[in-house]
Amino acid sequence: MNEAAFGANIVFHLGPLAITDTVVTSWGIMLFLSAMAAILSFGLKQESSRRQAAAETIVLTLESAVAEVMPHHARRVLPFIGTLWIFVLTANLAGLIPGVHSPTRDLSATAALAVLVFLSTHWFGIHLNGWRAYLRHFAEPNIILIPFNILSELTRTLALALRLFGNMMSLEMAALLVLLIAGFLVPVPIMMLHVVEAVVQAYIFGTLALIYIAGALEMPEKTRESSIHSPTDKEVL
């Protein structure tokens, strides 16, 4: 119970590295997603087949969702955010397969994803705005606020990792507890909640990453063209 709730189980050792079931499941998901991407994008034509129409629907939905928050740089950010959405969704839903734990209920996996978001925020900010404009946005309202801005960068990364981990882990644990107390087939309603929660958490993780990147990008832009952008993506921060 103790081990099942918190840590990941070690499957085998690769030299000095211990390979946990989190890593193995992530590899499986990566393989599955790459295979799906290869199958869906194989032999694209002008007039779309059913297979291609499915792929186009997914990509266009993701793109319109990204473009809503970030109208100017949607194409640049789409690969990263879209991958996050699809990967986190698949990883969350993988917990429903019997015998498989979702990788996102391990704090190491969600922390890795959060670090990825943290680094990509700075990368996109520096890449699209330049060093000086990006560094200036840390002193945005006033120069006194630099420590607070840096602190908020760190704490929101921590919160991003903890939120996904806590949600997935608590859902899995709740199902386990109900199974222990009430017995076979009783946790099924909780597992239905798991489906809803998996989708919502994947959406939230990707959207927060998107908003963080948008915050790094569009702060200097806001001073240039003050009222063109809709205030919605600023209100959130």
Partner 1 sequence: MNIDLHSFSLLSTIVAAIIITLGTMLPAIAMGRAIVSALEALARQPEAERSITRTLFVGLAMIESLAIYCLVIALILLFRNPLLEYFLK
Q: How many CB atoms lie within 10 A of CB 169?
A: 20
Angle at 213 between CA 60 and CA 115, to 5 degrees: 105
| Residue 30 beta carbon to partner 1: minimum distance, rounded to whole angstroms | 26
- The site map against partner 1 for 121-160 (x = CB under 8 A) is --------------------------------------x-
CB atoms within 10 A of CB 132: 9
CB proximity list for 50: less than 8 A, separation 6 or greater: none
Smallest distance from partner 1 to CB 225, Å: 19
Q: How many residues does the chain have?
A: 237
Interface mask toward partner 1 for 163-202; x: CB under 8 A: x--xx--x-----------------------------x--
Residue type present at position 167: N
Contact 70, 218 (CB under 8 A): yes
Question: Smallest distance from the beta carbon of 201 to partner 1, in angstroms?
Answer: 8
Q: Which is nearer to partner 1, 90 or 110 (CB)?
A: 110
User: Residue numbers of the site for partner 1 (CB under 8 A)?
Assistant: 2, 5-6, 68-69, 159, 162-163, 166-167, 170, 200, 203-204, 207-208, 211, 230, 232, 235-236
